[in-house]
């Protein structure tokens, strides 16, 4: 590897602007004549709108207009959609209720948009929004998924009887039942996966600009996938045809899934810009983010796992009820199905698996993918179940896992996935060694002498990243393809621009992607620029989520680089009067192997553009495009170990050590990969220990600010001990598996297994707050 190539710990090219305050986020954008929007939102979880009187608001200082759902509907703007069709096991399609960008008749969660005020300043818009008088007729609300399914529960959408969206299954129910019936031991566990708010530090924001002269719209927005946003706004919401709509996602301050989706605010601000004739900006405050950003997780599950007398797993049966909130968000339907139940084999040979999943509407914020998306839910239930089984069977938890590890690849699970490569023993061994697992009993004894309860727990996770190939996901109901695009432009002086459909909102693509180009073409990373996030600059792409940008986005760049190299070789061979097959590209030169004949990279590039001396019939220029559609998912896996100490007087958990041993396949920049794991673990620890969305029974959101929603802070966390084991992914040219979500997937069960080990009872749910731990210990 070179100092800037694959495998190098290169500091990030993008950092300079961020550490000097020169980042450009959506809220930093100012355009001439720009005005500010404030939304009027429902204070009720469920109500009929009987009247909207905006007359007082319209007379407030600075107010340009107050617009409502009836107006946006009259202008032909469509309802929000869910882009993944799931069929119930009886063959019927999922029951999608209408989600209007601003409600015209019924509001279904606290925060549902009802009207928008456009005014000179944000403060004036908010002043006026308070003066819009909306009359409501309150309806009974239902918050919990299990309650929503019961007869007589409040009904959210006429399309969905008993609020049931779909009743879906995967696997062989009879085989799983038979395994359970014949088992030497069955472990039964009730699992609750808590509801979370993603909380990127940059609140969502959008700036809609309508240009009447060109009949053209520009949408600046906090998006992880601007092209998907344009596609959806154009094809489904009728905002404008694609060629009349430019979507720009500039620097974006974190996403974690919550900025994948197209929300009402983008649509409304674009439309309002045309309606009012002024550019309209909206920036969420944090409470608005809690009330409107898609939440994550919120499952309840019954698990039965069957073992034979040798402690081999013979079957797994899972029954899950997932809360999707008041409306179906963009990819919400796929999360508790194909992103969840397909991972229920974990790292283990399980001959028979069956999962039944029911999703329901409730009067809560829509629920969609949040870092991990389905895979944390699968891992949590499997790894809690394995731990409890080991305790019931009286065997070492590591040994029980080893007894059941998959060791032969490729491995076809009973739930669609075909694992391509892995070495689960290697991660387990590395983690146990790093954690000094063997020394734990002595440490526990020492803690006891201080009156503290010490516990240790592990988790062996698998995930599936780079969701693909497009034809396969299409057959499972996806409304989009899941490929990625890249364009490599070699300029006439040899500098390079890579235009990628991936979007960086903290992942460091500007550096990692440049390292790939540097490795391949032997040019310094400073001469490589990564362009992303603008539909006018970059051809159609699919964006960044699901840990896909390395495995899929960079593979597209590899494909484009292959084409660039092939043409560059032809030009060099022509210039050097050599055979194309003898040309090697290294250290900024194209040379004839085994000779001292060479042409510098920039000279070859210049030759491509002067076109004075090109091979016969060759087109001038050097710019290539590629679309890469993977052949399979990738399967990162690893083992996490957590050790905790609990204060029995207060129930407070302190994390003493946290060890992560991950197999991400090949790694481009270890520094950036480690950073992804650190952040993922912190979010996983947040889920397990600190974070939880609470509603009261009437549907009021009780955790609507950082006063009540507990974000992990520096003193909640330890430093982390990381290592990497490498089995390259055979499915893509770089051997990359993806690293963005692993930390959030693997960590919650390790932490809860440690806490339950410390306190000697399994009866605790996430987040294991001091109060819950204290109660469990009483």
Partner 1 sequence: MSEVTMTVNGRKVSGSCEDRTLLAHFLRENLGLTGTHVGCDTSQCGACVVHVDGKAVKSCTMLAVQANGTDVMTIEGLAGDDLHPVQAAFREHHGLQCGFCTPGMIMAATDMINRHGPGNLDEKTVRGELEGNICRCTGYHNIVKAILAASEAMAKGAGAKAA
Partner 2 sequence: MYNVTYHRASSVEDAAKLAAGAAEAKFVLGGQTLIPAMKQRLAAPSDLIDLRHIAAMKGVTDSGGGIIIGAATTHAEVASNADLQAACPALCHLAAHIGDPHVRHMGTIGGSIANNDPAADYPAAMLALNARIVTNKREIAAADFFTGLFETALDEGEIVTAVKFTAPAKAGYAKFANPASRYAMAGVFVARSGGSVRVAVTGAGDNGVFRAENLEAALAGNFSPSALDGQTIDPANLMSDIHASAQYRAALVIAMAKRAVAAAG
**Binding region for partner 1 (CB under 8 A):** 11-12, 14-25, 27-28, 30, 123, 199-203, 251-254, 256, 285-287, 505-508, 671-672, 674-675, 678-683, 705-707, 711-715, 717, 719-720, 743
Q: Which does 771 bind (CB under 5 to 8 A by kind): partner 1, partner 2, none?
A: partner 2
Kindly list the strands in the beta sheet with 133-138, ordered across the sheet, starting from the edge strand earlier in the chain: 106-107, 47-53, 133-138
Nearer to partner 1, 437 or 720 (CB): 720
Q: Does 290 bind partner 2 (CB under 8 A)?
A: no
How far is it, in rounded angstroms, from Cα 189 to Cα 382?
10
Nearer to partner 1, 194 or 199 (CB): 199
Residue given tokens 């344009």 in the structure block: 230
Nearer to partner 1, 106 or 683 (CB): 683
Nearer to partner 1, 198 or 699 (CB): 198
Q: Which does 252 bind (CB under 5 to 8 A by kind): partner 1, partner 2, none?
A: partner 1
Site string for partner 2, 646-665 (x = CB under 8 A): ---xxxx-------------
Do 487 and 624 contact (CB within 8 A), yes or no?
yes
Applying CB under 8 A, the span of 195-203, 231-239, 432-440, 706-714 interacting with partner 2 comes to 706-714
Contacts of 498 (CB under 8 A, 6+ apart): 486, 487, 488, 489, 513, 514, 517, 528, 529, 530, 531, 557, 560
> For the residues of 33-94, what is the DSSP string, one character each?
T-EEEEEEE-SSSSEEEEEEE-HHHHTSTTEEEEEEHHHHHHTTPPPB---B--B-TTSPBP
How far is it, in rounded angstroms, from Cα 463 to Cα 369?
14
The candidate with the shortest Cα–Cα distance to 333, out of 413, 234, 261, is 261
Query: Please, which of residues 377-416 interact with partner 2 by CB under 8 A?
Result: none
**Can you give the length of the chain in residues?**
778
Q: Which does 694 bind (CB under 5 to 8 A by kind): partner 2, partner 1, none?
A: partner 2
Nearer to partner 2, 127 or 643 (CB): 127
Q: Does 133 bind partner 2 (CB under 8 A)?
A: no
Nearer to partner 2, 507 or 653 (CB): 653
Q: Does 287 bind partner 2 (CB under 8 A)?
A: yes
Q: Does 192 bind partner 2 (CB under 8 A)?
A: no
Q: Does 121 bind partner 2 (CB under 8 A)?
A: no
Q: Does 708 bind partner 2 (CB under 8 A)?
A: yes
Nearer to partner 2, 472 or 682 (CB): 682
> Which 3-state string (H, E, C) describes 320-363?
EEEECCCCCCCCHHHCCCCCCHHHCCCCECCCEEEEEEEEECCC
How far is it, in rounded angstroms, from Cα 684 to Cα 680?
6
Nearer to partner 1, 346 or 692 (CB): 692
Q: Cβ 241 to partner 1, closest distance in Å? A: 32
Choosing from 20, 594, 707, 719, the residue that interacts with partner 2 (CB under 8 A) is: 707
Q: Does 769 bind partner 2 (CB under 8 A)?
A: yes
The candidate with the shortest Cα–Cα distance to 729, out of 410, 425, 354, 276, is 410
How far is it, in rounded angstroms, from Cα 142 to Cα 566?
61
Nearer to partner 2, 127 or 387 (CB): 127
- What is the bridge-based pairing of β-strands 653-663 and 721-724? parallel
Report helix, strand or coil for 272. helix
Applying CB under 8 A, the span of 68-76, 269-277, 636-644, 702-710 interacting with partner 2 comes to 702-710
Applying CB under 8 A, the span of 295-303, 619-627, 656-664, 698-706 interacting with partner 2 comes to 698-706
Pull the structure tokens for residue 13.
Answer: 């090219």
Task: Tell me which DSSP letter residue 235 carries.
Answer: H
Task: Tell me which DSSP letter residue 747 carries.
Answer: H
Q: Cβ 708 to partner 2, closest distance in Å? A: 5
Q: Which does 672 bind (CB under 5 to 8 A by kind): partner 1, partner 2, none?
A: partner 1
Dump strand ranges (E) for 197-288. Answer: 205-211, 216-221, 245-248, 280-283
Q: Cβ 289 to partner 1, closest distance in Å? A: 9
Q: Cβ 123 to partner 1, closest distance in Å? A: 7
Q: Does 440 bind partner 2 (CB under 8 A)?
A: no
Applying CB under 8 A, the span of 409-417, 452-460, 527-535, 763-771 interacting with partner 2 comes to 763-771
Q: Which does 89 bind (CB under 5 to 8 A by kind): partner 2, partner 1, none?
A: none
Q: Does 452 bind partner 2 (CB under 8 A)?
A: no
Q: Does 56 bind partner 2 (CB under 8 A)?
A: no
Q: Does 289 bind partner 2 (CB under 8 A)?
A: no
Q: Which does 232 bind (CB under 5 to 8 A by kind): partner 2, partner 1, none?
A: none
Nearer to partner 1, 137 or 285 (CB): 285
Nearer to partner 2, 595 or 650 (CB): 650
Nearer to partner 1, 239 or 681 (CB): 681
Nearer to partner 2, 622 or 701 (CB): 701
Pull the structure tokens for residue 593.
Answer: 């192997």
Nearer to partner 2, 275 or 769 (CB): 769
Q: Which does 507 bind (CB under 5 to 8 A by kind): partner 2, partner 1, none?
A: partner 1
Q: Which does 20 bind (CB under 5 to 8 A by kind): partner 2, partner 1, none?
A: partner 1
- What is the bridge-based pairing of β-strands 47-53 and 106-107? antiparallel
How far is it, in rounded angstroms, from Cα 95 to Cα 278?
38
The candidate with the shortest Cα–Cα distance to 749, out of 685, 704, 682, 697, is 685
- Burial class from Cβ neighbours inside 10 Å (0-12, 13-18, 19+) for residue 620 reads exposed
Contacts of 516 (CB under 8 A, 6+ apart): 6, 554, 557, 558, 561, 668, 734
Q: Does 593 bind partner 2 (CB under 8 A)?
A: no
Nearer to partner 1, 251 or 266 (CB): 251
Q: Which does 16 bind (CB under 5 to 8 A by kind): partner 1, partner 2, none?
A: partner 1
Q: Cβ 258 to partner 1, closest distance in Å? A: 11
Q: Which residues of 198-217 are buried (b: 16+ CB within 10 A; e: fewer)?
A: bbbebbbbbbbbbeeeeeeb
How far is it, in rounded angstroms, from Cα 117 to Cα 134?
13
> For the residues of 614-636, what is the DSSP string, one character each?
--TTPPS--EEEEEE--SS-B--
Distances (CA, A) of 570 to 364, 556, 601: 60, 22, 13
Q: Which does 690 bind (CB under 5 to 8 A by kind): partner 1, partner 2, none?
A: partner 2
Q: Which does 770 bind (CB under 5 to 8 A by kind): partner 2, partner 1, none?
A: partner 2
Q: Which does 127 bind (CB under 5 to 8 A by kind): partner 2, partner 1, none?
A: partner 2
> For the residues of 369-434, what is the DSSP string, one character each?
--TTTTHHHHHHHHHHHHHHHHHHHT--HHHHHHHHB--SSSEE-SSS-EE----HHHHHHHHHHH
How far is it, in rounded angstroms, from Cα 489 to Cα 625?
9
How far is it, in rounded angstroms, from Cα 213 to Cα 216?
8
Do 112 and 42 contact (CB within 8 A), yes or no?
yes
Q: Which residues bind partner 2 (CB under 8 A)?
A: 123, 127, 130, 287, 649-652, 690, 694, 702-703, 706-711, 716, 769-771, 774-775
């Amino acid at each position: 590897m070179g100092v800037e190539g694959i495998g190098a710990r290169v500091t990030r090219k993008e950092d300079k602007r961020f550490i000097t305050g020169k980042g450009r986020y959506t809220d930093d954008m100012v355009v001439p004549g720009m005005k500010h929007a404030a939304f009027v939102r429902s204070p009720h979880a469920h109500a009929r709108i009987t009247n909207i009187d905006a007359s007082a608001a319209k007379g407030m200082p600075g107010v340009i207009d107050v617009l409502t759902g009836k107006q946006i509907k009259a202008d032909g703007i469509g309802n929000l959609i869910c882009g993944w069709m799931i069929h119930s096991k009886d063959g019927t399609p999922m029951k999608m209720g209408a989600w209007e960008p601003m409600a015209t008749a019924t509001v279904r969660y606290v925060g549902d948009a009802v009207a928008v005020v456009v005014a000179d300043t944000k403060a004036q818009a908010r002043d006026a929004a308070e003066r819009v008088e909306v009359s409501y007729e309150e309806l009974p609300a239902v918050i919990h998924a299990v309650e929503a399914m019961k007869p007589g529960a409040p009904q959210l959408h006429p399309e969905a009887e008993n609020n049931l969206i779909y009743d879906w299954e995967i696997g062989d129910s009879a085989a799983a039942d038979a395994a359970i019936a014949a088992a030497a031991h069955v472990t039964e566990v009730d699992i609750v996966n808590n509801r979370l708010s993603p909380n990127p530090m940059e609140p969502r924001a959008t700036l809609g600009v309508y240009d009447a002269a060109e009949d053209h719209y520009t949408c600046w927005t906090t998006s992880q996938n601007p092209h998907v946003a344009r596609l959806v706004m154009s094809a489904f919401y009728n905002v404008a045809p694609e060629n009349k709509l430019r979507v720009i996602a500039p620097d974006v301050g974190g996403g974690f899934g919550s900025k994948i989706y197209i929300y009402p605010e983008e649509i409304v601000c674009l439309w309002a810009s045309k309606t009012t004739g002024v550019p309209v900006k909206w920036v969420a405050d944090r409470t608005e983010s809690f009330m409107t950003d898609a939440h994550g997780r919120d499952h309840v599950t019954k698990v039965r796992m069957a073992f034979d007398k040798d402690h081999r797993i013979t079957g797994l049966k899972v029954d899950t009820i997932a809360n999707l909130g008041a409306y179906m968000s963009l990819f919400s339907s796929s999360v508790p199905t194909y992103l969840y139940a397909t991972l229920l084999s974990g790292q283990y040979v399980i001959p028979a698996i069956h999962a039944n999943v029911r999703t329901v509407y409730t009067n809560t914020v829509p629920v969609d993918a949040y870092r991990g998306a389905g895979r944390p839910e699968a891992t949590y239930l499997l790894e809690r179940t394995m731990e409890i089984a080991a305790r019931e069977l009286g065997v070492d938890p590591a040994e029980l896992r080893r007894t059941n590890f998959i060791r032969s690849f490729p491995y076809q699970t009973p739930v669609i996935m075909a694992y391509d490569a892995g070495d689960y023993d290697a991660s387990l061994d590395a983690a146990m060694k790093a954690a000094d697992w063997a020394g734990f009993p002595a440490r526990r004894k020492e803690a006891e002498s201080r009156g503290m309860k010490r516990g240790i727990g592990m988790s062996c996770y698998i995930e599936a990243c780079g969701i693909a190939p497009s034809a396969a996901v299409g057959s499972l109901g996806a409304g989009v393809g899941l490929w990625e695009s890249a364009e490599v432009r070699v300029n006439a002086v040899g500098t390079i621009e890579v235009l990628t459909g991936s979007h960086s909102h903290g992942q460091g693509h500007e550096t990692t992607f440049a390292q790939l180009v540097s490795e391949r073409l032997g040019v310094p990373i400073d001469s490589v620029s990564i362009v992303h996030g603008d539909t006018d600059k970059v051809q159609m792409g699919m964006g960044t989520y699901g840990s896909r940008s390395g495995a899929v986005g960079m593979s597209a760049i590899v494909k484009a680089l292959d084409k660039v190299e092939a043409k560059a070789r032809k030009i060099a061979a022509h210039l050097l009067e050599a055979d194309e097959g003898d040309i090697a590209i290294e250290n900024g030169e194209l040379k004839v192997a085994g000779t001292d004949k060479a042409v510098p990279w920039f000279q070859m590039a210049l030759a491509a553009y002067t076109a004075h001396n090109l091979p016969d019939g060759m087109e001038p220029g050097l710019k290539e495009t590629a679309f890469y559609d993977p052949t399979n998912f990738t399967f990162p896996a690893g083992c996490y170990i957590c050790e905790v100490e609990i204060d029995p007087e207060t129930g407070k958990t302190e994390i003493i050590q946290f060890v992560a041993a991950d197999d991400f396949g090949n790694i481009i920049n270890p520094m950036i990969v480690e950073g992804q794991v650190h952040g993922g673990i912190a979010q996983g620890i947040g889920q397990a220990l600190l974070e939880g969305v609470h509603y009261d029974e009437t549907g009021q959101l009780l955790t609507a600010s950082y006063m009540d929603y507990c974000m992990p802070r520096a003193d909640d966390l330890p430093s982390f001990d990381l290592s990497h084991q490498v089995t390259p992914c055979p499915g893509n040219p770089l051997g990359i598996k993806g690293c963005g979500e692993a930390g959030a997937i693997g960590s919650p069960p390790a932490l809860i297994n440690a806490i339950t080990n410390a306190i000697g009872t399994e009866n605790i749910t996430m987040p294991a707050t001091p109060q819950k731990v204290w109660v469990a210990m009483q």
